[in-house]
Amino acid sequence: MRIAVFSAQPYDKASLDQSNQAFKHEITYHEAGLSEKTALLASGFPAICVFVNDQINANVIHKLAEHGTRLIALRCAGFNNVDLAAAKKAGITVVRVPAYSPNAVAEYTLGLVLCLERKIHKAWLRVREENFALNGLLGTDLYGRTIGIVGAGRIGSLVARSFRAGLGCEVLACDIVQNPELVSIGVKYVSKEELLRQADVICLHCPLTPDTRHLLNSDTLRITKPGVTIVNTGRGALIDFVALLDGLESGHVGGAALDVYEYEKPLFFRDLSEQIVSDHTFRRLITLPNVIVTGHQAFFSRQALESIANTTLSSVGQFEKNGQVEKSVTL
Q: What is the CATH number of the domain that holds 33?
A: 3.40.50.720
How many structural domains are present in the chain?
2
Q: Phi-psi region for residue 114, left (φ > 0), alpha (ψ -120 to 50) or beta?
A: alpha
Query: Residue 124: in which H helix or E strand, if any?
Result: helix 120-128
Report the side by side order of strands in the sheet with 93-95. 26-29, 2-5, 47-50, 71-74, 93-95
The pLDDT, as a whole number, for residue 77 is: 84
Whether residue 331 lies inside any domain: the answer is no
**Contact predicate 147/167, CB 8 Å:** no
Q: Are residues 82 and 142 in the same domain?
A: no
Each residue's pLDDT tens digit, 284-305: 999 999 999 999 999 999 999 9
Average pLDDT over residues 189-194: 98
Alpha-carbon Rg for the chain, nearest whole angstrom, is 21
Each residue's pLDDT tens digit, 46-75: 999 999 999 999 999 999 999 999 999 999
Q: What is the pLDDT confidence band of residue 154, given thresholds at 50, 70 and 90?
A: very high
Whether residue 43 lies inside any domain: the answer is yes
Q: Are residues 115 and 250 in the same domain?
A: yes
For the chain, give the mean pLDDT: 95
Alpha-carbon gap, residue 249 to 117, rounded angstroms: 18
Task: Provide the residue range defining the domain that includes 125.
Answer: 102-293
Give the single-character DSSP code of 74.
E
Q: Are residues 245 and 191 in the same domain?
A: yes
Which residues on neighbouring strands pair with residue 121, listed in sequence order?
A: none
299 to 35, 59, 97, 168: CA distances (angstroms): 23, 29, 12, 25
Whether residue 327 lies inside any domain: the answer is no
Alpha-carbon gap, residue 45 to 239, rounded angstroms: 37
Whether residue 330 lies inside any domain: the answer is no
For residue 331, pLDDT over 80 is answered with no
Each residue's pLDDT tens digit, 6-61: 999 999 999 999 999 999 999 999 999 999 999 999 999 999 999 999 999 999 99
Each residue's pLDDT tens digit, 77-102: 888 899 999 999 999 999 999 877 89
Q: Are residues 34 and 94 in the same domain?
A: yes
Q: What is the pTM of this model?
A: 0.91
Q: Are residues 285 and 165 in the same domain?
A: yes
The catalytic residues are: 235, 264, 296
The pLDDT, as a whole number, for residue 98 is: 85
Whether residue 328 lies inside any domain: the answer is no
Residue type, 10: P
Average pLDDT over residues 177-205: 98
The pLDDT, as a whole number, for residue 100 is: 78
Q: What is the pLDDT confidence band of residue 327, given thresholds at 50, 70 and 90?
A: low
For residue 326, pLDDT over 80 is answered with no
Q: Are residues 261 and 116 in the same domain?
A: yes
- The whole-angstrom distance between residue 133's C-alpha and the CA centroid of its chain comes to 35
Q: Are residues 56 and 163 in the same domain?
A: no
For residue 236, pLDDT over 70 is answered with yes
Average pLDDT over residues 150-162: 97
